[in-house]
Amino acid sequence: MPEKTNVLLATTEDHIFQEISASLSKNHQIVRVSEGAKVLKTLIETNPVLVILDLQIGNMGGMATSLDLRLEQRAGRIPNQKILMLLDRQADEFLGERSEADCWIVKPIDPLSLSQQVDELINN
């Protein structure tokens, strides 16, 4: 059986963590942080194959966190990251684009759709 890879999830919502864990835990270990400011340090420590950012997280929102990771990546301080953004509504899609996330999904989370999108992101 292949070893599970890390997926870094930044959310303050327990139900989001539970939904993502249920959807991805077969192949991935979910590493959760509840503040955007902790994402970079945790990313360096855990080397995830994917970062999932909830748009609404603690002291540094998902959009700012995504842009911060892209800046660190372009500066060569971290490797290229795959970033998936969790949006609150369809009208927030422009935020997904502006955040430089690789892709996004609008909540509520559809487990099958999430699983497929994660597999596609990781394998491309």
Instruction: Judge contact between 6 and 29, C-beta under 8 A.
Output: yes
- Spatial neighbors of 98 by CB under 8 A, at least 6 apart, are 63
Which pLDDT band, with edges at 50, 70 and 90, does 114 fall under? Answer: very high
Number of domains in the chain: 1
pLDDT digits (tens, 9 = 90+) for 71-85: 999 999 999 999 999
pLDDT digits (tens, 9 = 90+) for 25-62: 999 999 999 999 999 999 999 999 999 999 988 778 99
**Whole domain around residue 114: which residue ranges?**
5-123
Which pLDDT band, with edges at 50, 70 and 90, does 1 fall under? Answer: low
Report the CATH number that the domain containing residue 86 is assigned in CATH.
3.40.50.2300
